[in-house]
Amino acid sequence: MKDFLSAPRLAELVRICTEMYAHGWDERNGGNVSVLLDGADIDGYIDTKNVLRELPTGFSAPLPEGSLFLVTGTGKYFRNVRYDPADSLGVVRLTDGGKTAQLLWGFTGGGTFTSEFPAHMMSHAARLSVDAENRVVLHCHPDGLLAMTYVHDLDERAFTRTLWQMETECVMVFPEGVNVLPWMLCGTNEIGEATAEKMKTARLVVWAQHGIYGAGRSLDETFGLIETAEKAAGIFLKIAHLPWKQTLKTEDLRRIAAHYGVTPRAGYLD
């Protein structure tokens, strides 16, 4: 067996956690990430017969028996992930109808998966129902998007259109727009269910006064989605209080979408 610490999947997640912290998106223990693994990702690295601990999930994770996830741990600081990945991260396998997660690697200090495990598992199921290639769910607290939820209408169409107007890239990067949840208590099955419902129509779900969830086929794609939306939110906050002389118009957004062959969310560019 090779050491999982040298596995590409692990290295990739460590890099992303480090990068997220550097962007200021994950203060203290803020944020969490889960990556759906293929058997091949851990083959030769982890003995799948050796269950280290059984962790109750507290709900029936709606995913196939045996699904494998690399996931950040509850209370772990993204700032520290790179110094001790085996303590901050874990590989778990769902069993017992998703009511139990078997720990196969990591959480060496006795920890467990993120407090947002329900939102992650339900979001994976929702994304997989519309995109069989989805692998990543990523949550963080980027300050521009968070600030925007205090001063901007939370209507999804309006919120999306504002972001699209802030930078030419936006409608290309997230043509389906961003969905928005009003403030809800985090760490609960209820916010998990609400997030998953929103995930069926967009890869980005803003949690008002809290942060954002992103989903995608890779860590790079998902990070890039949030990075782009956050950049747009930052521009909005720089100009929101100033008199605008011009902006990207609906017609411009339509032209961008047509030129780059993306389909904007129906009804958002009427």
Token pair in block for residue 25:
């998106």
- Work out how close the CB of 65 gets to ligand 2HA at its nearest, in angstroms, rounded to a whole number: 27
Tell me the three state secondary structure of residue 93: strand
Instruction: Work out what residue 32 binds among ligand 2HA, Zn ion, none; the CB cut-off runs from 5 to 8 Å by kind.
Output: ligand 2HA
Rg of the chain over CA atoms, in angstroms?
19
Tell me the three state secondary structure of residue 32: strand
Judged by beta carbon, residue 117 or residue 164, the one nearer ligand 2HA is 117
Q: Does 32 bind ligand 2HA (CB under 6 A)?
A: yes
Which of positions 99-128 make contact with ligand 2HA (CB under 6 A)?
115-116
Q: Does 29 bind ligand 2HA (CB under 6 A)?
A: yes
The residue whose two tokens read 């794609």 is: 221
Instruction: Work out what residue 29 binds among Zn ion, ligand 2HA, none; the CB cut-off runs from 5 to 8 Å by kind.
Output: ligand 2HA
Which of positions 181-240 make contact with Zn ion (CB under 5 A)?
211
* 88-112 CB burial, b ≥16 within 10 A, e <16: bbbbbbbbeebebbbbbbbbeeebb
What do you get for the CA distance between the two ends of the chain, in Å?
A: 57
Judged by beta carbon, residue 212 or residue 232, the one nearer ligand 2HA is 212
Judged by beta carbon, residue 116 or residue 156, the one nearer ligand 2HA is 116
The answer to whether 33 and 56 have CB atoms below 8 angstroms apart is no
H or E stretch covering 62: none
- Work out how close the CB of 119 gets to ligand 2HA at its nearest, in angstroms, rounded to a whole number: 8
Q: Does 55 bind ligand 2HA (CB under 6 A)?
A: no
Burial of 178 (0-12, 13-18, 19+ CB in 10 A): buried
Q: Are strands 204-207 and 178-181 parallel, antiparallel or unpaired?
A: parallel
Instruction: Please count the helices (runs of H) and the strands (runs of E) in the chain.
Output: 11, 9
Residue sitting closest to Zn ion (CB): 211
Give the number of residues in contact with ligand 2HA, rule: CB under 6 A: 8
State phi, psi for 221 to the nearest 5 degrees.
Answer: -60, -45
Candidate residues 5, 55, 147, 186; the one interacting with ligand 2HA per rule CB under 6 A: 186
- Work out how close the CB of 36 gets to ligand 2HA at its nearest, in angstroms, rounded to a whole number: 20
Q: Is residue 19 annotated as part of the catalytic site, yes or no?
A: no
Q: Does 31 bind ligand 2HA (CB under 6 A)?
A: yes
Q: Which of 54, 116, 193, 251 is catalytic?
A: 116
Active-site residue set: 116
Residues contributing to the site for Zn ion (CB under 5 A): 211
Residues contributing to the site for ligand 2HA (CB under 6 A): 29-32, 115-116, 139, 186
